[in-house]
Structure 1
Amino acid sequence: MFHLKNGFYCLTLLLLLLIALPCSSPAAERVYTLAVVPNLPAVTLHKNWRPLVEHLSKETGVRIELKLYDKINTFLADAQAGQTDFLYAPPNMYFLAYQRQKYIPLVRSSHMIRGQVFVRKDSPYTKVNELKGKTIAFVGPKNVCSVITRHSMLTGQGAIDYNVSFSGSTINVAKSVLVGKADAGATLDTSMMNDLPEMRKEFRVILETERMAPHPFAAHPRVPKQVQEVVTAALLRLDESDQGRKILDTVKLSKPIRADYNRDYSFFAKVDFERLDKQQPK
């Protein structure tokens, strides 16, 4: 009888210990963060990205939470410090994060981008080297259109020195050129088409950079390869349905393909970011 009671107490104690222990499936419990570049107000970004994050979490079983920022500098600092598991960033900012953390690009849109410099249609300038010493308006110092066009003008054939001004948005860049505050402006070709459909006829493009890959959806190397693969597969499958394509279009990942660092983003190793950072409005 004593042995029976003793065995019962041991079994009860074991069951209590098992109940008290945490779940032994850490992969199922872990929450991964996705940082998105703050190129729009946080409220808009949350609205745009929430359907994608919810779909990925449901489709893959991987819990993902959005990490949004008010300032680009804070976003970039966190990315360079590896503070986020997944990352959606412009190519130049992705490259800076890659240098420090080796983020792995998983997926990008197949639509290539390029920078362009434009002037008013009645402007006397027909070539970019005629803008030596003139003022060129850019969206901001760290925007990809600013980085690739400034790099091109400082290093390409007919490289020139010029004054910069930062206008804050594509529309403000265009307005600066129209009212004569700037002699020329620089944007992405896609921004010109999407943001300024009516104003485009007022301008003339005098420089286009080479085409390059757009923003990647990337993963930190600490994210398990299995998780990277299921997230990549889920993103690519979204292109197979109308609803999925709508979700992708909203976050600018339309017609997604697998991304590759060497093919898509190694170009930025040529960019002198320190020199660009020193360019300030006069």
Structure 2
Amino acid sequence: MAYFFAGVLALLFGLMLAGPAAVRAAEKPLIFGVFPKLTARQTVTAYLPLAKSMEKQLGRPVAIYSARDFETFVERTARGEYDIVLTAPHLAWLARQDAGYAPLVKYAEPTRGLLVVARASAYRRPEEMRGRTIATADAIAVTVLAAEAELAARGIERQIDYQTRDAGTHYNAVMQVLNGRADAAMLGLHPYLLLPSEVRARLRILAETGPLSSLMYLTHPRLPARDAEAVRRGILAFAGTAEGTRFLQQGGYGSFIAADGSELPALQPYALEARELLRARR
């Protein structure tokens, strides 16, 4: 039984990273795209109960997908491959501009960008990052962009005073610090709170940004209004369960609140910066 379960997980992770087309050819569920701030296994563990709650309201399957990196996730979102998407606020601006996604709900508690170091390190001030290497989930993450702006305000410029190294996820960025491959890491407050307690115990926060709008759930315009409303009901129903309460507490999300997109224009500068960074990679 253990081998069967492991095989199913391996297949699921492979499909998550391969893209939605493989599942669409089979059962045609709604595709729920989750921003790759966690590993594939962590994403499934965290969001499967939420997907099940959506299924109950929709009366049809919901398949969880992510991507191997932020760039791939943004490209798939722009192509409209996800029926439901959970993404960063600045990338929500791109999702609306590029594919017409409509904001649905978001987490009530804002996030922040953090600069963390190993607890045992000698670093005590952000200025000590000059000449150092900082691991990041990805350069386009809004918390990374904000953390870089915080350092720039202190006269410490990216790729001039310090080097960055993309680690793929917030968790991997932290592990690079703990494994001695980077001097510090930039990550978001919510991913930091989701780290295992034994990992957080080995870290120390050196600096943090001001509050930033949190992750947002959006639906593709091809979804009928009744399905978008069913997704919303499923999310809110999940919040009322014991699993949902734990999920919101562990992530420091507070609760789910309605999102009408009114805050997105303020995130346009971060969105355009992310777009330019993505274009430079092609």
Q: TM-score, normalised by structure 1?
A: 0.69
Q: Deviations for 1:30-62, whole angstroms, at most 9, x for unmatched residues? A: 96432223445556644554443343233244x
List runs of 5+ in structure 1 lacking aligned partners. 1-29
Q: Which runs of 5+ in 2 are unaligned?
A: 1-27
Q: Give the secondary structure class of the aligned counterpart of 2:98.
A: helix
Q: Which runs of 4+ in 1 moved over 6 A?
A: 247-254
2:157 to 151, 160, 167: 160
Identity across the alignment (%): 24
Matched, 1:270 2:279: no
Letter in 1 for 2:72: T
Residues 167-225 of structure 1, C-alpha deviations (whole Å, 9 max, x = no match): 34445434544565433221223333432533545544332112223221111233333
Aligned residues: 248
Task: For 1:222-241, list aligned pairs within 5 A.
Answer: 222-241=222-241
The answer for the alignment partner of 2:68 in structure 1 is 71
Q: Is the 8 A contact 1:114 1:212 kept in 2?
A: yes
> Which structure has the larger Rg?
1
Q: Secondary structure at the match of 1:83?
A: coil
- Give CA deviations for 1:204-260 in whole Å, capped at 9, x if unaligned: 433211222322111123333333233323322333343554677799976211123
Moved more, 234-243 or 270-279: 270-279
Alignment of 1:215-254 (within 5 A): 215-242=215-242, 245=245
Q: Deviations over 1:91-114 (max 9, x none)?
A: 343332223123122112223211
User: Contact 2:37–2:169 at 8 Å: present in 1 too?
Assistant: no
Q: Does 1:33 align with 2:34?
A: no
Write the distance in 2 (CA, Å) between the matches of 1:101 and 1:197. 38
- Supply the AA of the counterpart residue of 2:132: K
| Alignment map for 1:1-282 (pairs within 5 Å) | 32-40=30-38, 42=40, 45-46=43-44, 48-61=46-59, 63-66=60-63, 68-72=65-69, 73-120=71-118, 125-154=123-152, 156-161=153-158, 162-178=162-178, 180-195=180-195, 197-242=197-242, 245=245, 255-263=255-263, 265-271=264-270, 272-273=273-274, 276=277
Shift in Å, 1:117:
1.0
Tell me if structure 2 keeps the 8 A contact 1:52–1:247. Answer: no
Higher relative contact order (CA 8 A, sep 6+): 2
**Root-mean-square deviation (Å):** 3.6
2:14 aligned partner: none
Contact 2:117–2:123 (CA under 8 A) maintained in structure 1: yes
Q: 1:23 — aligned with what?
A: none
Amino acid at match of 2:208: E
1:112 partner letter:
P
